[in-house]
Amino acid sequence: MKHSVARSLEKYDKAEFGFWLYLLTDIILFASLFATYMILRGNTASGESAAALFDPKYALLETVLLLTSSFTCGIAGLALRFKHKRMALGLLVTTLLLGLAFISLELNEFATLINEGQSWRTSAFLSGFFTLVGTHGLHIIIGLIWGAVMLAYIIKTGVTSDSLRKFTLFSLFWHFLDLVWIFIFTIVYLGASL
Amino acid sequence: MKESDFKPLLRKYLAGFMAALLLSVLSYTLISSDILPHAEGLVMAVLLLLAVVQLVIQLVCFLHLGIKNRSRNRTLTLAFTIAMMLVIVIGSLWIMKNLDYRMGMSSEAMNEYMMKQNKKGF
């Protein structure tokens, strides 16, 4: 018994560290996109600049939604560790709904911009913007699918060392996306009016 | 884990959440009101500082990063990645700004610039 606990703990640590290394490579990906955006920010091809296109208030709403979902995801993991299954499931559903609200707002923003003729084909600045924010949005969509699968998995198998380990990885991913968003919020949306 | 550990851990998450929320709203307020002087560089520096503070708070409260045994490897690898990230971002900005500066010169100014560089010796 003791032996198997030790082994599952080792498996847990290995999985967590391996996934952590993947997230670190994702940081490098986002760093390149941030650098690209910051360099191309002024190249608007005589079109609208960032200050005219982006609304910091809208972005603040997105920020609060994503931050809250990161928080509920963390507590869901905590509840799972203490075997409060129903609480964990409820919080996971909340996390996914908040994430869904976030991505809806973002897609709505993209659609509005494109309808106004401000697509990624308009200028280098907008190419940089759509690539950076779109890559983050794509990660969020993948996270939402992963979260939904986690939900089904936990309902089916209950709280086991396997579901706990899998959930920890999902939770790392979700927290990471919120960390990236802090910098998108600061550099893209708040920096727009500077 | 004991049931009595639940509340303190919950409080850690809650504290992190409140701090992060406060910092986000503070950043937004700095931009939407005219509290700070109209100096772009200074304002951006303050905003980035607030973002980094929030990053650290979330890393500690949500991702449980620390220097103690179990999270040590994660902290070390993250520190290395942040160093690489800074090289990529600052390096790119530096090179492209410099290139932009040189491309923007008139041919006379470029000549003068080259003469000055020559005098310094390569």
Q: How close, in Å, is residue B105 to chain A by CA atoms?
A: 18
Residue B106 is which amino acid? S
Q: Residues of A36-74 as b/e, b for ≥16 C-beta within 10 angstroms?
A: bbbbbbeebeeebebeebbebeebbebbbbbbbbbbbbb
pLDDT attached to residue A1: 56
Count of CB atoms situated within 10 Å of the CB of B120: 7
Of residues A160 and B39, more confidence is placed in A160
Condensed to tens digits (0 to 9), the pLDDT of residues A123-156 reads 999 999 999 999 999 999 999 999 999 999 999 9
Are B62 and A70 in contact (CB < 8 Å)? yes
A24 and B27: CB-CB below 8 Å?
no
Q: Which residue of B has its CA nearest to A192?
A: B31
Residue of A nearest to B46 (CA): A186
**pLDDT tens-digit readout, B58-105:** 999 999 888 776 788 899 999 999 999 999 999 999 999 988 888 888
Structural domains of chain A sorted by starting position, each given as residue range(s) with its CATH number in brackets: 2-193 (1.20.120.80)
Q: Which residue of A has its CA nearest to B22?
A: A64
- Taking an 8 Å cut-off on Cβ atoms, the answer to whether A182 and B47 are in contact is no
Asked whether A118 and A107 are in contact (CB, 8 A), the reply is: no
pLDDT above 70 (res A64): yes
Burial class (CB in 10 A: 0-12, 13-18, 19+), B46: middle
Domain ranges within chain B, ordered by starting residue:
1-64, 80-122
Looking at beta carbons, which residues of chain B come within 8 Å of A60? 24-25, 28
Task: Kindly report each contact of residues A89-95 with a partner whose C-beta sits within 8 Å and lies 24 or more positions away, as own/partner.
Answer: A89/A151, A89/A154, A89/A155, A92/A147, A92/A150, A92/A151, A92/A154, A93/A151, A94/A69, A95/A69, A95/A147, A95/A174
ipTM: 0.90
Residue B40: count of CB within 10 angstroms of its CB: 10
* Predicted local distance difference test score (pLDDT) of residue A100: 98
Kindly calculate the radius of gyration of chain B based on its CA atoms and give it in whole angstroms: 23
Chain A residues in contact with B50 (beta carbon < 8 A): 186
**Measured distance CA(B100)–CA(B87) in Å, rounded:** 19
B28, A57: Cβ pair inside 8 Å? yes
Proportion of chain A above pLDDT 70, given as a percent: 99
C-alpha torsion A82→A147→B59→A194, nearest 10 = -150
Q: In whole angstroms, what is the distance from residue B80 CA to residue A51 CA?
A: 34
The type of residue at A162 is D
Q: Which residues of chain A approach chain B closer than 8 Å at the C-beta?
A: 13, 16-17, 20-21, 24, 27-28, 31-32, 34-36, 38-39, 56-57, 60, 63-64, 67-68, 70-71, 74-75, 78, 81-82, 172, 175, 178-179, 182-183, 185-187, 190-191, 193-194
